Each structure stands twice: as structure tokens, then as C-alpha cells.
Amino acid sequence: MEKLTVSTAIERMQEKFFRISDAIWTYAELALEEYKSSKLLADTLEEAGFTIETGVGGMPTAFVASWGNGTGKPVIGFLAEYDALPMLSQKGGVPVHDPVVPGAPGHGCGHNTMGTMQALAVVALKEFVQNNGLDCTLKYFGSPAEEMLVSRPYMIRAGAFKGVDVVIDCHTGDDFSVAGGVSGAGMYSFIVTFKGKTAHSGGDPWMGRSAADAVELMHAGTERMREHTPVTQRTHWVTVEGGEAPNVVPDRATTWYFIRDIDENLPDRYQWVLDCAKGAALMTQTTYEVKFLTGCHQRHSNTALAQLIYENIQAVGLPEYTAEEEAFAKAVQKNENVPQTGLNYRMRLVTDMPYRGGSSDVGDVTLVAPCATLRFPMRFPGNLPGHHWTVTTAGNTSIAHKGLSAGAKVAALTACDLLKKPERLEAIRKEFDEYSSEHPYKSFLPDDAEPPLGWNAELMAKYRGKMEEFYSEP
């Protein structure tokens, strides 16, 4: 009966949140540039009675929204993301690749629905808690830059998760699911800048020292390193600066690395890659500097929480889709040459996730509080790629709204269970305490690391003006 109440509240409130999600979809702000998106969500929660703390962890677009009742215990956290991706602009509800603004960012991972889903869940929950006179604190963690895996390690370092008993995370899915156990890869992100000397490449090349050569040799070194590291490793890089004309010896060149592996392999691997940088500098008589951007752990999802979330996925069930929505899904699937199965989302509890090389900074949260990720249906089923226009095109449609609503219900119902059935929370905490005694959290961030503010400022500035005319009102 109570469960019905919170679901009914979500249905009563959701129209406004669909408009918020659609507006954030049009803003499509890149990591650490989510000024409008985070403000819209923070303002919405403030209006609903939550207290807002902004600038968390030194990031202007990070915030925590809190509201408590009675004793304020337990403290239930909700992770919320809202950043977009470069190059993924796409018109909504169109089954072919057709950007709104060519080259501009877009919500190719559906994060517009995620931050909004958790906002809807906590606003509905607040009403439920008040009506039932329950004790608790609800904490919404507005987390920027998930796509750069930046915010959570810095928010944790700033103490934002202290005293949180349990955390419900969410992500868009091509299914309706939740996973328990270890999954994904840990990751370090850092840039190496080499400095040499310019000279005329034809006239007096012996006067120059090429920073671009150093970058190439560092890449060659790490390429050889791969052969002798476990198969769980992923090592990739892009040259972000490598000279501007062949006739000027480049005195500056920069490479950006992601190194990924299981948590225990990463610290030593990082040292090996730094040795490749050192070797490259020696060979080219250049110097180098390393700027650490972020480091995050694998996910260590709480299985007892995953089980509880799964029970509520089953209770909520799959959304019902119209013939038009099914036809749209099949048109997208047809154009991408995957089976035209429509919106046949699976509901599942995953307990033995095969190793994949992707990473998320949610991993760090799973080591400081029991946490699991609820995946709600929003992307098209059929093994389509992530970070892709087919995700953007669904992001402001009724399909996304239905997924958002279903996800909010599961998150809210799971929180209701945590409040009404203390034995479930106790079992979750017990699993976490046992696990963390064997896997104590140690941040991968060096002490002097700072969030890379402004990393995307130039790229965002390039497109924001052109995107503005397509902004929708919340």
C-alpha cells in the first residue's frame, strides 16, 4: 500500500521532471561545464525543500542536496549525473544520424535522464517520509564529469560521503537490471607534456629537440609494455598536441593516457608508464611534466543491495510501449543493421559480470558505502554501441520518459524498503563492513591532484552559442 503511494506520487510529479530531463538534453554540457544542468537540478531540489551545498570537492558544478526528518538516520544517498559527450549531437526521435548542430556535444549516454530520475525519486520520497513520519536523511549527490571519471574521487576526498549508510546509483540501460559484485576496470587518467626546442627542420635541425618525437617514443614504449601485462589491461592514448607544421621542430607535445586494469595492478602499471615517459625524454633530450587528472577504482557493488533493487525492478515491471514507440525502435535497429526486436528489454539481476574494460568513478563510491547501480531501460536493445547517436536520439522521447519514471519508482521503492525493513539495511551494511575490512578504500588520487576544471571550456564555448537556439524550457 505504501509502495503504491510513492509510485503514485512519482506519476503525479513526473511531467515536470520529463521537461527538466528534456531541457538538460538540449543543454548537452560537457564534463565540468554543466553549469545550466546542475543549476536546474539544484534549483528544483531547493524548491522542493532540500538544502543545497555547491562547489563540492572544488568543482563548481558539483553539489549535494540534503533533506532530513526526525533523527536523520539512516542516511540514504542517490548518485546523479548530467554531463554530455563530445561529437554526439543528434535530433531527438529521428531514426537516422542527423545532428542538431554538427560536431557539437550530445547526450550520447543518456545522463540527462539519470540526474533527473534521481531528483524525481528523492522529491517523491521526501513526501512519503513526511507523510509516514519516518526518520532518515536523503542525500542527492550531483556529480559532474562522470564521462571523465572525475567527480567522485574528489567528492569523497572532500568528505561528501561521510556518514552515508547506503547509496543507490543509476544508469541508462538497454535492459532493466542491477548487478552485484566486482565489475569494470579501475583507471588512471593523466597527461604528459614534453618540452624540447624549436629549430628550422630543414636548415638547422641539430639545434632543435623534438617534443613530438618524445611522445612517439613514449607511445612505442607503452605499446611494448602491453605484451607483458595481464589481459585485463587496457592502455590507450591520444596525442592532444604534437606540433603545428613540419618545418618547425615542435618544442611542445602532449599525450593523454587512460590506463585501466583491475585495481591491484594499477599503481605499479602507472609507474611503468611513467618510466616510458622518462625513457622517451632521455632518448630525445627533452623534459617532461605529468598532470594527473583522475584515478578511480573498479565497481565493488553490494550484492544484498542489488538483490533488493532487483525485487523492486520486478515489482515495478517494464513500461508499456505504444505501437509508435516500437516502430521507432525498429527503424533505428534497421538502420544500424541489428535485429529489429523493438523495445524487448530484459529484467535481470547480474551476479557474475564478465570482465569489461570500461570504468566509472562510481567505483570509488562502492568502496566507501554500500552501493549498486540500477540500470533503467532507455537505450535501444540489440547490442548497439554506447556513446552513440542512437542513445542521443532516444534521450528526449517518451521512451526515455517511461524509463526515467520506472527507474525513479525502483530507486524510491528501494529506499522505502531500507526505511521500513531495517533488517535489509543491516544485511547490506554487514556485507559492506566485511568486504571493506578486506578491501579498505585508498584513493588513487595523489595528494596534490586537483579536478581538471576548464578542461572542456574551449570545446563547450565553440558550440554553446550555436546550441542555445535549440534549448528547451524546463
* Minimum CB distance to Zn ion smaller for 111 or for 269: 111
Residue 9 or 109 having the CB closest to Zn ion = 109
Nearer to Zn ion, 109 or 276 (CB): 109
Kindly determine how many residues on this chain lie close enough to bind Zn ion according to the rule CB under 5 A: 1
- Rounded Cα distance, 396 and 21, in Å: 7
**Residues 440-469 contacting Zn ion, CB under 5 A:** none
Burial class (CB in 10 A: 0-12, 13-18, 19+), 51: exposed
The answer to whether the Cα torsion of 169, 175, 180, 183 is positive or negative is: negative
**295, 152 Cβ separation under 8 angstroms:** no
CB-based burial of residue 52 (10 Å sphere; 0-12 exposed, 13-18 middle, 19+ buried)? middle
- The three cell numbers of residue 323 are 505501437
Segment lying near Zn ion (by CB under 5 A), choices 104-112, 211-219, 290-298, 335-343: 104-112
Of 109 and 168, which CB lies nearer to Zn ion in the complex structure?
109
Q: Quick one: DSSP state of residue 248?
A: B
**Residue nearer to Zn ion on the CB measure, 109 or 149:** 109
Residue (of 371, 434, 442, 406) closest to 139 by Cα position: 371
CB of 171 to Zn ion, least distance (A): 6
Cβ at position 386, least distance to Zn ion in Å:
7
Task: State how far the alpha carbon of 473 is from the alpha carbons of 12, 17, 44, 210, 463, in Å.
Answer: 20, 12, 14, 51, 19
Report the alpha-carbon distance of residue 80 to residue 451 in Å, rounded: 18
Q: How far is the CB of 69 from Zn ion (least distance, A)?
A: 32
Find the part of the chain contacting Zn ion (CB under 5 A) among 50-58, 105-113, 282-290, 338-346: 105-113
Residue 125 or 293 with smaller CB distance to Zn ion:
293
Rounded distance, CA 107 to CA 124, Å? 25
Based on CB atoms, which residue is closest to Zn ion, 75 or 109?
109
Whether residue 333 contacts residue 327, with contact meaning beta carbons closer than 8 Å, is answered with no
Of the candidate spans 63-71, 109-117, 328-336, 367-375, the one that interacts with Zn ion by CB under 5 A turns out to be 109-117
Buried b (16+ CB within 10 A) or exposed e, 343-381: bebeeebbeeeeeeeebbbbbbbbbbbbbbbbbbbbbbb
Residue of the chain from 85, 109, 179, 369 that contacts Zn ion (CB under 5 A): 109
Please choose, from the candidates 349, 350, 361, 351, the residue with its C-alpha nearest in 3D space to the C-alpha of residue 298. 361
> In terms of CB distance, is 358 or 422 closer to Zn ion?
358
For residues 121 and 405, what is the distance between their CA atoms, to the nearest angstrom? 9
Which stretch in 91-99, 102-110, 336-344, 450-458 sits in contact with Zn ion by CB under 5 A?
Answer: 102-110
The answer to the question of residue 117 lying near Zn ion (CB under 5 A) is: no
Question: Smallest distance from the beta carbon of 408 to Zn ion, in angstroms?
Answer: 17
Q: Kindly indicate which of the ranges 53-61, 106-114, 440-448, 450-458 contains the residues binding Zn ion, using the contact rule CB under 5 A.
A: 106-114
We find the least distance from the C-beta atom of residue 150 to Zn ion, in angstroms, to be 13
Choose between 175 and 251: whose C-beta lies nearer to Zn ion: 175
Q: Which stretch binds Zn ion (CB under 5 A): 107-115, 282-290, 347-355, 405-413?
A: 107-115
Residue appearing with cell numbers 542516511: 75
Q: What are residue 331's DSSP bridge partners?
A: none
Place of cell 548530467: 82
Nearest approach in angstroms of CB 109 to Zn ion is: 3
Residue closer to Zn ion (CB basis): 90 or 137: 90
Q: If you ran DSSP here, which 8-state letter would residue 320 be given?
A: P
Evaluated on CA atoms 46, 49, 55, 59, the torsion sign reads negative
HSE at residue 187, side-chain half, CA atoms within 13 A, is 29
Least Å from the CB of residue 111 to Zn ion: 6
Residue number with the smallest Cβ distance to Zn ion: 109
* Site stretch for Zn ion (CB under 5 A), options 36-44, 65-73, 108-116, 120-128: 108-116
**Nearer of residues 179 and 253 to Zn ion, judged by Cβ:** 179
Q: Shortest Cβ distance from residue 80 to Zn ion (Å)?
A: 12
Segment interacting with Zn ion (CB under 5 A) among 103-111, 216-224, 263-271, 284-292 = 103-111
Nearest to residue 153, comparing CAs of 359, 436, 373, 416? 359
Tell me which residues in 422-441 interact with Zn ion (CB under 5 A). Answer: none
Tell me: cis bond preceding 102? Omega within 30 of 0 counts: no
Contact residues for Zn ion, defined by CB under 5 A: 109
